[in-house]
Structure formats: C-alpha cells, structure tokens
Structure 1
C-alpha cells in the first residue's frame, strides 16, 4: 500500500500473486512498486497487518510529531 512516504522514494508496498499471475508478473509489479521505495512479496493473509504497520503508521507518526511542534510554537519556542 503506497503512502505519503512514496512521494520521497521511501514508501512501503506489498504485493502478492494468485494462480493467474506468473512469477515474472509478480516480480514485475514488485519492481514497479520498488520505484516508490521498498516492496515485498507477501501472502495475502498478511496484508491487513502490513497495511497497519507500513501504510498507516507513517501518517500517525507525522501527526504526533506535528502536534509536538505546534505545542512548542505555542510555548514560544522558535520554529526552525
């Protein structure tokens, strides 16, 4: 699942194939996603966990850091 990190080439993606996809096709898709960062071939059963870790976590981390920065500005710390 590409995310905001993909904009700077640090994204994380997972791909999987099925009985209709050849190994070459799955590898092609993996290589395509690697142009956005890292990409793994995972079983479909692991996609929900991967999405939580790699897809959602960066956005939550950003919100946390942004909240700390805003609090610092409210306490009159100079924004750099």
Structure 2
C-alpha cells in the first residue's frame, strides 16, 4: 500500500485501477455529450443535478477499453 488508508477506493487505486465518483443517479438514456474528467477538474458536487446510470456505465466502459485515469479518481460530470 502506498500510504492510502485501506478503503475500497484505496485498494482499487493501489492496484492501478480507476475509481469513478458520480453524483446523484437517475434513469434515462446515455448523454450524447458525455465526458470524463479527473477529480481535480470535476465541478463541485451539486445535489440539484443528476446523471443517468447509462451515462456513468458508458463512461466506465470507455475507461475500461481506453484507460485515461489509471490509478486515479475519475468523474463523469452531469
């Protein structure tokens, strides 16, 4: 372990995986303009904004196929 507390996020990050943090989830289609950013570039959490599960799932698949944030936290902004 590289000094991170033993958490689910820490375990994934230590293994070189990507952890996704998303806001409030909603039903609906995938957003055609979806994107993924690193945690430092993510907008502040806004509880009035929702992101669809389909959008988060698509972002996770994109990251699995073409990793851009290995060993880091990624955010699919709503």
Q: TM-score, normalised by structure 2?
A: 0.30
Structure number with the higher helix fraction is 1
The structure, 1 or 2, with the larger RCO (C-alpha pairs under 8 Å, 6+ apart) is 2
* Bigger Rg, structure 1 or 2: 1
